[in-house]
């Protein structure tokens, strides 16, 4: 029996494959789209049974070639570009593909654990897994919401687990390939190493410079939650996956700068000291993001806690610091 991981060469998918390997599991079908060929690097240190292009996998699935052969599907594959303008591609890639997997999993009584997104909440101020708070700002968020709604409608048909996670702002190892969609921590780290400064956005949405706030969650914690549900197939539903704590972009900037300074044998600085020394300078808020930007997010994780996940989440100071030290070691 196979564990199927879609988006396996991507950010969260490859971290899940690696975590499964650490548990001794290598009977994994890795599914992805390697049009960006360098993504293979995320799987180079992993052990898998086979790799299939996402189109070939779907065709094989619908032809019945995997009937009776799949133990669990960890569905992480998606177009995650919140600025994508080709809605037809996003809906086909994110919604229709996910619907085909849902059909298979319900029909075969196979657990489905999948990635949703906090983008479903749009510019709202309440982040609770209820329809009244869901109003996406872009087609990416809409594609995720539409699938979540389908899961809600069909949950009664499923005799096996169906669990979706609304990821908040995830950062960590194996995201190098994501370009402009990589985490703020990744961008700030590379800004500081290249320019000796980081550049959060100037004030917007009623927040001062760099004080826009997001729920930043380490990929380490994201993997732990996925594995918790893998170990508890009786748990189904749609759950927020964040820390439950909003922190500022300035907090990320300070964690990055101080991690890099520590590696160079320098003392930690406060935000005010970094600003005075121009280690933090603020970039103009992009016109392209006006009306499409979440200035504040904070996961309500009450449902996740009620599902029995009681582990603490890494704060930015710890998680981003650890991430930067790993990047420095690799460099």
- CA dist list (Å): 210 to 198, 252, 299, 305: 11, 9, 20, 30
Q: What is the number of alpha carbons within 13 Å of residue 92 lying toward its C-beta?
A: 7
Per-residue tokens: 228: 């918790």
Per-residue tokens: 202: 């100037």
Given 121, 140, 282, 323, which residue is catalytic? 140
- CA dist list (Å): 116 to 43, 94, 163, 311: 23, 10, 10, 21
Q: What are phi and psi of 318, to 5 degrees?
A: -85, -50
Gyration radius of the chain over CA positions: 20
Given 2, 51, 54, 178, which residue is catalytic? 178
- CB contact at 8 A, 174 and 242: no
Counted residue by residue, the chain has a size of 331
CA nearest to 75, candidates 136, 164, 2: 164
**Cβ burial, residue 151 (10 Å; 0-12/13-18/19+):** buried
Distance CA 274, CA 126 (A): 32
Q: Does residue 144 carry a catalytic annotation?
A: no
CA nearest to 169, candidates 314, 306, 5: 314
Q: Does residue 140 carry a catalytic annotation?
A: yes
Distance CA 291, CA 93 (A): 25
Please, which residues bridge with residue 241 across strands? 167
Distance CA 188, CA 207 (A): 19
Q: Which residues are catalytic?
A: 140, 178
């Amino acid at each position: 029996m196979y564990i199927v991981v879609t988006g396996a060469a991507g950010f969260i998918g490859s971290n899940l494959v690696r975590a499964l390997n650490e548990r001794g599991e290598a009977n994994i079908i890795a599914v992805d789209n390697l049009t960006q060929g360098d993504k293979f690097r995320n799987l180079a240190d992993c052990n898998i049974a086979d790799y299939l292009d996402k189109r070939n996998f779907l065709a094989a699935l619908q032809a019945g070639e995997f009937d009776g052969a799949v133990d669990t599907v960890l569905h992480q594959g998606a177009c995650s570009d919140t600025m994508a303008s080709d809605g037809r591609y996003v809906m086909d890639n994110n919604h229709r593909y996910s619907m085909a997997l849902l059909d298979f999993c319900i029909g075969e009584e196979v657990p489905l654990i999948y990635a949703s997104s906090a983008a479903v909440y749009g510019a709202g101020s309440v982040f609770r897994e209820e329809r009244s708070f869901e109003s996406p700002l872009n087609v990416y968020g809409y594609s995720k919401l539409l699938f979540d709604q389908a899961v809600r409608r069909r949950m009664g048909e499923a005799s096996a687990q169906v669990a979706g996670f609304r990821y908040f702002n995830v950062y960590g190892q194996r995201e190098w390939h994501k370009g402009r969609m990589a985490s703020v921590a990744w961008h700030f780290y590379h800004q500081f190493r290249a320019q000796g400064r980081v550049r959060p956005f100037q004030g917007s949405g009623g927040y001062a410079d760099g004080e826009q706030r997001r729920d930043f969650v380490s990929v380490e914690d994201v993997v732990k939650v996925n594995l918790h549900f893998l170990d508890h197939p009786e748990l189904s539903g749609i759950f927020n996956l964040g820390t439950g704590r909003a922190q500022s972009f300035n907090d990320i900037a300070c964690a990055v700068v101080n991690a890099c300074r520590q590696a160079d044998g320098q003392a930690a600085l406060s935000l005010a000291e970094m600003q005075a020394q121009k280690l933090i300078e603020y970039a103009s808020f992009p016109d392209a993001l006006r009306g499409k930007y979440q200035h504040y997010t904070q996961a309500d994780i009450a449902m996740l806690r009620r599902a029995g996940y009681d582990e603490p989440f890494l704060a930015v100071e710890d998680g981003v610091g650890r991430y930067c030290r790993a990047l420095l070691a690799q460099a």
